[in-house]
Amino acid sequence: MPLTRDQIAKRISQEVEDGFVVNLGIGIPTLVANYIPENMFVMLQSENGLLGMGPFPTEDKVDADLINAGKQTITAVDGSAFFDSATSFAMIRGGHVDLTVLGAMQVDQSGNIANWMIPGKMVKGMGGAMDLVAGAKKVVVAMQHVDKHGNSKLLEKCDLPFTGLGCIQKVVTDYGVLEIDEEGFCVKEYAPDLSPEEVAKATAGKVRIAEDCKVMEF
């Protein structure tokens, strides 16, 4: 069995370190917040202008002036700050965000990512995705390994329009954890029900298995 969305999120939470400024995208990345250890001081960035995003409010604390980038009502934690959108993206583009986690339609062996448009379909826009991949110190992608037809979404080259070039270092999927370097994909960890070979086989593009490849732990 491949991993659940929550298991992917839980594994990604291990990338978070004490003191980190982290931006979590919509979907699986949002779930990562649920698994950050309580003894760690981590500030979540919301690109609409908040560092220090807290959980959803209780009914009596709902505030129309306090939302996240997904336009959901949220709260702000102690120590948080509000700022305008240019400052928010100065934080992102200027390399002051330690970790960005986002979803993707495709990632390729050169670290390119496609996650904002499918030609022929209604284009909704890239929002902050292009800035986030261009600016964060570390970008981790959370995604399903294969599409509904069983085809790998990890490719030799993305065939959908790029969001950014050479900006992805790590991909966590329902099959395993892969790093990307000059040699292409490298299987570093595999899901408990799979073998490293199966993960490699399910990956298109140049792929190898790390010597120290291990089973994923949560």
β partners of residue 86:
none
> How far is it, in rounded angstroms, from Cα 33 to Cα 25?
11
Residue 30 or 173: which CB sits closer to other proteins? 30
Minimum distance, C-beta of residue 102 to other proteins, in the bound complex (Å):
13
Q: Which of 88, 100, 106, 173 binds other proteins (CB under 8 A)?
A: 88
> How far is it, in rounded angstroms, from Cα 164 to Cα 162?
5
Tokens representing residue 117 in the block: 């448009």
111 binds other proteins (CB under 8 A): no
> How far is it, in rounded angstroms, from Cα 90 to Cα 40?
25
Tell me the three state secondary structure of residue 123: coil
> How far is it, in rounded angstroms, from Cα 28 to Cα 143?
8
Minimum distance, C-beta of residue 86 to other proteins, in the bound complex (Å):
4
165 binds other proteins (CB under 8 A): yes
Per CB under 8 A, contacts with other proteins among 35-74 are: 46-50, 55-59, 62-74
Q: Is 54 exposed, middle or buried (0-12, 13-18, 19+ CB in 10 A)?
A: middle
Residue 2 or 127: which CB sits closer to other proteins? 127
121 binds other proteins (CB under 8 A): no
* Residues in contact with other proteins by the rule CB under 8 A: 46-50, 55-59, 62-74, 76, 82-86, 88-89, 92-93, 112, 117, 122-131, 134-135, 161-165
Q: Annotated active-site positions, please?
A: 47
